[in-house]
Structure formats: structure tokens, C-alpha cells
Amino acid sequence: MRTVCNYLQYSTFLAPSWQNLPHTHAKKGGKSCYTIMVSSTKLTNASIKVDKGVASSTHMTNFTINTTQTRTQTQTQTGRFGKYGGKYVPELLISCLNRLEDEFYKALDDPEFQEELAEGLRDYVGRETPLYYAERLTKYYKDVNGQGPEIYLKREDLNYGGGHNMNNALAQSMLAKRMGCTTVVTATAAGQHGLATAAACAKLGLQCTVFMGQADIERRPSAVSLIELLGAQEASSEAIREWVGSIETSYYSPASVIGPHPYPTMVREFQSVIGKEVRRQAMEKWGGLPDVLVACVGGGSNAMGLFHEFRHDEGVRLVGVEAAGCGLWSGKHSATLAEGDVGVYHGTMSYLLQDDEGQILHAHSVANGLECPGVGPELSYLKDSSRGEFDTVTDEEAVEAYKRLCRLEGIFPALEASHALAFLEKLCPTLPHGTKVVVNCSGRGDKDAARVLQFKPAHSYDGQQPEQSNGYDQIWENQYCPLPNATKKISRN
């Protein structure tokens, strides 16, 4: 029997009914949409002790396989990046994850699978994407003496689907079909990963179910419509019940480099095409490597896709940019590496946004795709090892960067990628003349234009809740920030 599990299936082990789990409920088209939230802190309902987010119980296993490293891994042990990563899952999921790992490495070594994937990335996704010299943006950052770095954009926004998501979604769906699964299940926030997965499943003749929260549905109605046109099911209660009872034929397709092993390694491997292309393109354009790589960081898939190829090139700086949201002082941000503590979430050990009791905190960003309270374990390792550098930019800075690229280069970057572009304001004045900087433009931002036009910085308000202009954003706390002079820290519980 071909079996693959996913870490959201904790629900079948920890509660007699999925309805007993924490969830977000939304109504759309007369149906109920649920996003199941599984965190270490919520496991207390199953009598599992929690300390700073790390679950400890005989029912949970930190499972690490000791094998020789493969060509695709940087971890010291399979599934581990330093102390981060691992498999913090119920025993009943271990065999499922082991089988998934075996099938993944078999696929990597299968020339037929690799040829099919390369063909799909070329003919369906539209790879390779250009390494674009941003001439006017480069001039913008020159000093009074005409000195400054050269800025290049890795144009992942030109992929089919509008972002880097399709690199992973297509490969995951191909692996699902190879394993004999008939249904792919995934979750999406900004809608891009859900759209990419639905498209890949339509191409491969697979069924697809997409989980999307209420606030995300309200923010991204166009993405929901496209997902439905591609034939994907809405995540109604009936679909969830059917999926939970059909793990033999279902496959979970993760959006980012988060989850129990092998998910972080799989997603990073499928996204590493970004960095591999950059290496080749840089050699063609200037005969050397980039000096600085810059990528936004939410969960971390686009960042690891860019960074991984250059992890052993010590002369190449790896810079990740997190969302400071309304400001780190406000408590409304998604800066996990800057402000988080080590804990376990979704089956992996990494940095998390959590309170003193280990409760996972709400993440905020103007960019939906960066609203993640955790981060990939390999990025946590890059931080602790000092191989990676990490900084933050605010919502306001990201919005300004979005507008700047539109006006200077005629390119609409996703608000997620705009965080990486915004960091150029801090980075460029510190760099020698001629430094080669590559920024990962991880997605297309036409979907964000309305939000950018509606955005008002926190200091433009008098402390009163502004009126909603047209219902584009229904949730107050997800769009607007507290005033900078507020004296009380905002709770994100």
C-alpha cells in the first residue's frame, strides 16, 4: 500500500474529532472553510507537557535518522541543522514520514523523474527566470560621487503563477503522483501556493484541496476564484473529514521549509533551482559570483532556494529580511529570527514567536505570505552559525519599496519581495562601488496594488480606528498598526 502522511494529521491522533482542534471558521458560498492550527502549545489539550513550545511526552518522538549525508543536505544528521529540525511527531506518523523520505531520495536519483521535472519547469513554469540588471534602481542608490553597488533582480515573478511557489508545487505534485496518491492537500495564506498547487494538480490529473483562513479569503478573493476554476475543492468540513480518513491516498504539499523532516529538505531542494540559475547567470554576466544575496524571510522557502547553492561560498553574503510589521516595539510583526525563542512548532525545532508560557503569538505583516510565527530550521541554523545575516523592515518601508520599483523599473514586486527591496536602503550605503547585489524578486505584486494604494502608515492616524474604505480588508488588526508613541506593548495572544 502506498502511504504518505502529513503533519496536519496530528489531528487524528490528538483529538477524537478534528472539530475539537483550534481552527479558524469562515463562510463562503454557503460552505464552511476551516484552517486547522496545530502548534506545540495547543497540545496541552492532549495532556502533553509544554515548556517554551517544546512538547515532551511518551506520545511524541524527536526522531532523527543517522545516515550519511547526501549531496543535497547541509545538516550534520539527516533531518537536523545543528540542533534545529528533527521530527517531533506522534509515533504513528514516523513510518509515513520515513516512506516519504525514501521516495523523495529515490526520485532525486531517478533520471526519468529529473528529466520530467526539468521539462515541466521549462515548458510549464517558464524557467529559467532572468537575472535582470536594475539599471535605474542602481542609479538611485549611487552616492554624490556616482559610486554604488550594482543591483540585479532574480525575476521569480515571471514564473507561471506569478512567483517562486510553482517550483515546489509542481515537484511535490509530481512526487505525489509517483507515490500513487490521488489527492494533494495544502494550505495557503496569500493564495499563491494554493494557486500553484491547484494548477500543478490540474496538469497532472490529481485532486486538490486547499485550506485557506477566513481573513485570507477576504483579502485574496481573486486567488480563491482562480483556485476554484482550476478544479480544487474548497476546504469544507466534509472535505476535511474525507481527507483525514484517506491518508493512504492523500499527500500533504508544504508551502515552506517548515515541518518535520523531510519537509524542510524537500522544499529547499525543489526551490534550489533559483540559486543554481543565479550562479550560472552571474558567471555569464560578469564572470564571477554575486557579492550579496538578499531575500525576504517568512517561512523561508524563497530565501533557502536562493541561499543554498552558495552556502559554501564564504565570500557571498546571505542576507534574510524579516517583516518588522508595525515596528518591533509594537509586538505586531513577523520577525521570528529577530524576536523569537527556540521551540517546536509543526513538528520541527526552530525559532518561534511565543510568549513566556510557550503560546504561539500572532504574526503580522502587510505581506500575507510573511505572516508566519515560525521559520525554517535551516535558517535558524544559518543565524546561529553566523553564516546568514538577518535584519527587518517595517510595513511602511516595504510599501515604499514597492512603489519605488514600480516607478523606477516598471516592475510590480510582491509585498513579500518588497521587504527584500526595502533593505537596500540600509544595505547600499555600506557597500563598496561595484558590489554585485542580487535581490530575489520572489513574486509578482499586481495582486497587492489595491492594498498598497490603501495603506496608511501608523503616524497618519490620531489614535482612532480608521473607517474601512471598501471592505478590502475586513480585519482591523491585520492592516493597521498602533501609533508609534503608544506606551503599552500590544498583545498578540
**Tens digit of pLDDT per residue, the chain (493 long)?**
333 333 333 332 222 222 333 333 333 333 333 333 333 333 222 222 222 333 332 233 333 222 233 344 455 567 899 999 999 988 878 888 899 999 999 999 999 999 999 999 999 999 999 999 999 999 999 999 999 999 999 999 999 999 999 999 999 999 999 999 999 988 777 678 888 999 999 999 999 888 776 666 666 666 776 667 666 655 543 333 444 456 678 888 888 999 999 999 999 999 999 999 999 999 999 999 999 999 999 999 999 999 999 999 999 999 999 999 999 998 999 999 999 999 998 889 999 999 988 899 999 999 988 999 999 999 999 999 999 999 999 999 999 999 999 999 999 999 999 999 999 999 999 999 999 999 999 999 998 999 999 998 765 444 444 443 333 333 333 444 544 433 332 233 3
Judge if pTM exceeds 0.85.
Answer: no
Domains, the chain: 131-161+268-456 (3.40.50.1100)
State the pairing for strand pair 80-81/84-85: antiparallel
Q: End-to-end distance of the chain based on CA atoms, in angstroms?
A: 43
Rounded to whole angstroms, the Cα distance separating 461 from 482 reads 9
In this predicted structure, what is the pLDDT of residue 58?
29
State the pairing for strand pair 341-345/183-188: unpaired
> Which is it for the CA torsion 254, 306, 413, 375, positive or negative?
positive
Rounded to whole angstroms, the Cα distance separating 119 from 375 reads 31
